[in-house]
Amino acid sequence: MMKKVLPLLFGVLLSACALNPTDSQYHAQKEDQNGRKLMTGDRAKPNYDRMYNHFDDPENTNQNPNFISLTDGSENNRADVRKAVQVVEKYTNYEAGSVWMNGADMWITVHARNRLSNEQRQKDQARLQQLLTKAIPTYRVHVRIHD
């Protein structure tokens, strides 16, 4: 009789020592009803912002090394195009035109505001090519200057 009652009493004793789910420390980190405010220690933080949910900037979505990008590097391509346009507009008096990439080649069309002599065009083209190669070394840069 004692062999049957002792395990039963032991089970009741163990179940009585379980966590109390209504305890505030048990729910130390939970979200509110709408899931917008993080509840920590019964204090709401309404401006809690999860940085990993910023999908408006594509370069921030690929921060996880386990994330498989399905866009075949388009985020990096956009960043390289922006960098090329910034270099043209910052270091020259020219206006950036189209930027095309084909494998390891980057073709940048630049529009001159004034007519240029052939000598000046070649000089500026070499300077721009050097600046862009320094800014974006992963591509073979080709510059075209149009009047």
Confidence of residue 129 (pLDDT cuts 50, 70, 90): very high
Each domain of the chain, given as residue ranges in start order, spans 74-146
Tell me what the mean pLDDT of segment 84-106 comes to: 89
Q: List Cα–Cα distances, 19 to 23, 24, 25, 31, 36, in angstroms.
A: 8, 11, 10, 20, 27
Q: What is the pLDDT of residues 45-57, one digit of tens each?
A: 544 444 444 445 5
Tokens of 147: 């009047």
Architecture per CATH, 74-146: 2-Layer Sandwich (3.30)
Lowest mean pLDDT segment, chosen from 7-11, 28-32, 109-113: 28-32
